[in-house]
Amino acid sequence: MSGDMNVTLKVWRQKNNNDRGRFETYPVQGVSPDMSFLEMFDILNERLITEGKEPVAFDHDCREGICGMCSMFINGRPHGPLQGVTTCQLHMRSFKNNDTIVVEPWRAKAFPVVKDLAVNRSAFDRVMSSGGFISINTGNAQDANSTPIGKDDADMAFAAATCIGCGACVAACKNASAMLFVSAKVSQFALLPQGQPERKQRVLNMVAQMDAEGFGSCTNTGACEAECPKGISISNIARMNRDFIGTQLSMQKV
Amino acid sequence: MTSSKLDAKIPDGTLEQKWTKYRSTVPLVNPANKRSLEVIIVGSGLAGASAAASLAELGYKVKVFCFQDSPRRAHSIAAQGGINAAKNYQNDGDSTYRLFYDTIKGGDYRAREGNVYRLAEVSANIIDQCVAQGVPFAREYGGMLDNRSFGGTQVKRTFYAAGQTGQQLLLGAYSALQRQIGLGQVEMFTRHEMLDIVNIDGKCRGIIARDLVSGKLERHFGHAVLLCSGGYGNVFYLSTNAMGSNVTAAWKAHKKGAFFGNPCFTQIHPTCIPVSGDHQSKLTLMSESLRNDGRIWVPMRKEDAAAIRSGKLNPNDLKEDDRDYFLERRYPAFGNLVPRDVASRAAKERCDAGFGVNQTGEAVYLDFAFNTKYKYGKKEATKRSIANPTEAQLKELGQVVVKEQYGNLFNMYQQITGVNPYENPMMIYPAVHYTMGGLWVDYNLMTTVPGLYALGEANFSDHGANRLGASALMQGLADGYFVVPYTVGNYLSKEISVKPIDTNHEAFVAAENETKSRLEKLMNIKGTKSVDYFHKRLGKIMWNECGMARSTAGLTKAISDIQALRAAFWNDVRVPGDINEFNPELEKAGRVADFLELGELMCKDALDRNESCGGHFREEYQTEEGEALRDDQNYNYVAAWEQLTNGDWELHKEVLNYENIKIAQRSYK
């Protein structure tokens, strides 16, 4: 054991998507403040395995805050108490000795539970397939410097493009809306000259797919922006709404 | 002599003509026939996603498999610093030839000329393609693309998107892939893991994959199979790789006939956050770009190092004269920007000699104080016409600039260590980062199994014994966007009359049964120890004996230790849960079982190579100053290992011919 913190975990356990699920309580001893939240789960799982019990399933991969795979809802907040941090970059020094910590999966109709804390976020991929791209086949490109792009536009497009697709915005939203995720991709391309030819069709298609996946509507509470580990701005939603409404009014459907 | 089993198929002609001529004369597949040809791609990182999108655009029917919940999670996403390309936008003397030369030299003369030249040639097209896809690279105020410099080169050729270049490039390739999925050209299988390849009549014809949610095994046919499954750094347990990164796809292919090239060539990255305790599950990289402005040092005197370790001395209070900037001292010409292998060894040497600065004695300082004040602070003071700035003013002004350039990395450091790097020097130590070795491939990127290809980090081909920074992204995308669309067509042009093979074919059935019984065997051991228990022990053996310094005695012992550990694993591992459900422990068990075999081969390869080159440092072979001592007379070859039916390996050599570059001792002094 490498530390002297003790915490009590209340963890959502659900064998699969057909199971009802319930909370289980696990005391975890010997936690070091330098451990990441997921490493604390590693200790718990190691113990459950040696006790002959089933470890807690959770999604994680890069453990450096960029792949977007980790997804725990901790004490009522996606990715826990800190701002601008994914669960894998949350450390136990953010908690106190003898804390009780409640850990749930993302809760959203469009994100069905796979097992315990792991959910299925393939709805995001389908939204991307509906229009989250610039249609250019390999080999078609002109020289990279042939179209100058102002630094401000490039920086704003980059800021929108840093979304890691974790789904915290959906989990944070009382309506389980995916507007922040979708608008970040719409904005990235809307801000760049390369994105202009498909700009109108893109926003219509992506919004239609978002609705078809069962995500809720946006009521501007701003929880998504507050909980986004990458600080994606809610102004992207405003930009998407402008594009969407403008496109609906201006596009001629024959 | 090159083994008769290895034909690299390098096209004839001068270096400049080889690829152009190949592309112009390669047999083609007509569009109607492409529609009936099926290609399987395993892995969705830069190599896999770019290959999948490009082949689907050409009209092939493509199936892509990844073990994560979305193709966008592949570990290419975590690459920080940038991507090299010979654009010469900076007018500083870059060219295709210079990128080619730097890559061969950086790799310590253990890579193939033909492949590396092609890589340098297509590098410029990659940047064009990515910009066209909407990848938001960093730009200057005039709207043109910006570049930064990286280790081992003297030109600025690295394109970047803050400290998240890999993320932006992967999202570009992922977008292109999702577009093809939406068009029905690609069928995507997420949360699926490839567990075997299927060979029929000497050709690779498909794979066995496990649906990780249901646990069901599936058979998939393909006229060709492309492995884009990344590197095997996780054999060391602790590395900068993602938790799920593994060798399984490449290893299964190896066991079915694909030779493994240079398995011992591993890259240890010098600037990672040091290990803090036994609980640690992974290591985090601090980008190479930090070495532009950070100075690396340890105390000059051992007693000061001891005082720092015990907390009695604050490093900020140590006088300038009492600090040893060991890279600047040993390598005055390149200073803190020597290649990764050189920087890592120098840090280890100081720590081994007792100068380490953290509690475990395995850390050195990466210090921004000097450049914060005297490079950036002074410049800002001048801009603001402050005549005699105080030290505090310089620091304050400089910190604003440092924050702009490295803010996200500094935040990450503080988050992980709890220490503020603006006020204190960062502590860093080398960690496993990348594997230059991988499946042996010819110029077509085809392995020794016909129809089976390996792309990106999964192959061995372009980086020799040491990869230069910002070249991994370049290679992954070169292979996927611009190389394999031509070379796979070369093979498939002869397969147009082959009808899809029914997956009830006996070879598919046999492969599935084999996979099934291995999974059942793992479940039925019902031992007492977790998979991680064994993985951590394997990692320790590998790090101590096959890491930054290797020796005959250590490697020999490591081989027997690994064999014993492997036996213990198959006797005492405990895999909880069921076989037919989402079971992350079972996934891990299969991967660690493969690492336990690979580790032995890596040690064997390291033992066989009686020289030091690039990341491979054998203690017996060094100069008086402690630099790597190559043996071009006897070891100027690619080691390609064939697994024999009895589980042992046979070595085949591909001799490297340098027709354009004169081999020389690498010097960065």
Q: How high is the mean pLDDT in each 10-residue block of chain A (254 residues)?
A: 87 97 97 95 96 96 96 98 95 97 98 98 98 97 97 95 98 98 98 97 98 97 97 98 94 62
User: Taking CB atoms and an 8 Å cutoff, what residues of chain B touch A57?
Assistant: 582-584
User: What pLDDT does residue B277 have?
Assistant: 83
Average of pLDDT values for B122-143?
96
User: Taking CB atoms and an 8 Å cutoff, what residues of chain B touch A55?
Assistant: 576-577, 584-585
Whose structure tokens read 């914060």? B372
Interchain contact, A134 vs B134, CB within 8 Å: yes
Interchain contact, A49 vs B530, CB within 8 Å: yes
Q: Give SS3 for B104.
A: helix
Average of pLDDT values for B559-581?
98
Identity of the residue numbered A225: E
Is A91 an 8 Å CB contact of chain B? yes
Give A232 to chain B, closest Cα distance, Å.
15
C-alpha pair distances (Å), B234 with each of B237, B380, B454: 5, 44, 19
Of all residues in chain A, the one with the smallest CA distance to B129 is A141
Confirm whether A115 is domain-assigned. Answer: no
- Tell whether the model's pLDDT for residue B404 goes beyond 80: no
CA-to-CA distance for B413 and B419, rounded, in angstroms? Answer: 7
User: What pLDDT does residue A1 have?
Assistant: 45
Give A166 to chain B, closest Cα distance, Å.
10
Give A78 to chain B, closest Cα distance, Å.
17
Residues A49 and A147 in one domain: no
Residues A183 and A240 in one domain: yes
Confirm whether A116 is domain-assigned. Answer: no
Average of pLDDT values for B325-332?
94
Residue of B139, B159, B580, B581 to mutate, testing the A interface (most A Cβ within 10 Å of its Cβ): B139
Residues A97 and A199 in one domain: no
Active site residues of B: 340
Structural domains of chain B in order of their starting residue, each with its CATH number:
270-432 (3.90.700.10), 506-635 (1.20.58.100)
Confirm whether A109 is domain-assigned. Answer: no
CA-to-CA distance for A128 and A151, rounded, in angstroms? Answer: 26
Identity of the residue numbered A207: V
User: What pLDDT does residue B665 have?
Assistant: 85
Is A52 an 8 Å CB contact of chain B? yes
Residue of B46, B87, B126, B133 to mutate, testing the A interface (most A Cβ within 10 Å of its Cβ): B133
Give B222 to chain A, closest Cα distance, Å.
23
**Of A2, A61, A150, which is closest to B277 when you measure between CB atoms?**
A2
Give the per-residue SS3 of B146-191. Answer: CCECCCCCCCCCEECCCCCHHHHHHHHHHHHHHHHHHCCCEEEECC
In this predicted model, what pLDDT tens digit does every residue of B180-221 receive, in sequence order?
999 999 999 999 999 999 999 999 999 999 999 999 999 999
DSSP character string of B28-63: ---HHHHTT-EEEEE--SHHHHHHHHHHHHHT-EEE
Final residue belonging to a domain, choices A38, A70, A104: A104
Q: Give SS3 for B295.
A: strand
Confirm whether A110 is domain-assigned. Answer: no
CA-to-CA distance for A12 and A49, rounded, in angstroms? Answer: 18
Confirm whether A56 is domain-assigned. Answer: yes
User: Taking CB atoms and an 8 Å cutoff, what residues of chain A touch B191?
Assistant: 114
Kind of pairing between the strands at B61-65 and B38-42: parallel
Residues A100 and A176 in one domain: no
- CATH assignment at residue A137: 1.10.1060.10
Confirm whether A42 is domain-assigned. Answer: yes
**Total domain count for chain A?**
2
Is A4 an 8 Å CB contact of chain B? no
In this predicted model, what pLDDT tens digit does every residue of B303-327 receive, in sequence order?
999 999 999 999 999 999 999 999 9
**Domain, as residue range, for A245:** 121-250
Final residue belonging to a domain, choices A104, A137, A164: A104
- Closest Cα to residue B597, out of B657, B658, B641? B641
Interchain contact, B77 vs A66, CB within 8 Å: yes
Residues A74 and A163 in one domain: no
Q: Give SS3 for B642.
A: strand
Which tokens hold the place of B521?
Answer: 């065997």
**Of B132, B240, B281, which is closest to A194 when you measure between CB atoms?**
B132
Are A125 and B73 a contacting pair, CB within 8 Å? no
State the number of CA atoms in the 13 A half-sphere of A38 facing the CB: 25
DSSP state of A13: E
Interchain contact, B175 vs A32, CB within 8 Å: no
CA-to-CA distance for B149 and B337, rounded, in angstroms? Answer: 9
**Of B136, B418, B582, which is closest to A93 when you measure between CB atoms?**
B418
Confirm whether A114 is domain-assigned. Answer: no
In this predicted model, what pLDDT tens digit does every residue of B472-497 receive, in sequence order?
999 999 999 999 999 999 999 999 99
Which tokens hold the place of A235?
Answer: 């102004």
The mean pLDDT value of chain B amounts to 96
Residues A127 and A73 in one domain: no
Of the candidate ranges B25-29, B275-279, B440-444, B447-451, the one whose mean pLDDT is the lowest: B275-279
Residues A140 and A211 in one domain: yes
Q: Give SS3 for A101.
A: strand
The model carries a pTM of 0.97
- CATH assignment at residue A61: 3.10.20.30
**Of B75, B178, B242, which is closest to A128 when you measure between CB atoms?**
B178
Give B278 to chain A, closest Cα distance, Å.
7
Average of pLDDT values for B153-177?
94
**Of B143, B162, B532, which is closest to A149 when you measure between CB atoms?**
B143
Confirm whether A111 is domain-assigned. Answer: no
- Tell whether the model's pLDDT for residue B619 goes beyond 80: yes
Helix B248-255 and helix B584-608, axial crossing angle in degrees, nearest 10: 60
CA-to-CA distance for A153 and B221, rounded, in angstroms? Answer: 46
Residues A99 and A139 in one domain: no
Q: Which of residues 198-237 of A touch B (CB under 8 A)?
A: none
The proportion of chain B whose per-residue pLDDT surpasses 90, expressed as a percent, equals 91
User: What pLDDT does residue A2 have?
Assistant: 64
Interchain contact, A129 vs B178, CB within 8 Å: yes
Final residue belonging to a domain, choices A104, A129, A145: A104
Residues A100 and A130 in one domain: no
User: What pLDDT does residue A173 have?
Assistant: 98
Residues A19 and A135 in one domain: no
Give A248 to chain B, closest Cα distance, Å.
23
Residues A15 and A42 in one domain: yes
Residues A127 and A193 in one domain: yes
User: What pLDDT does residue A23 have?
Assistant: 98
CA-to-CA distance for B458 and B453, rounded, in angstroms? Answer: 10
Of all residues in chain A, the one with the smallest CA distance to B417 is A34
Kindly calculate the radius of gyration of chain A based on its CA atoms and give it in whole angstroms: 21
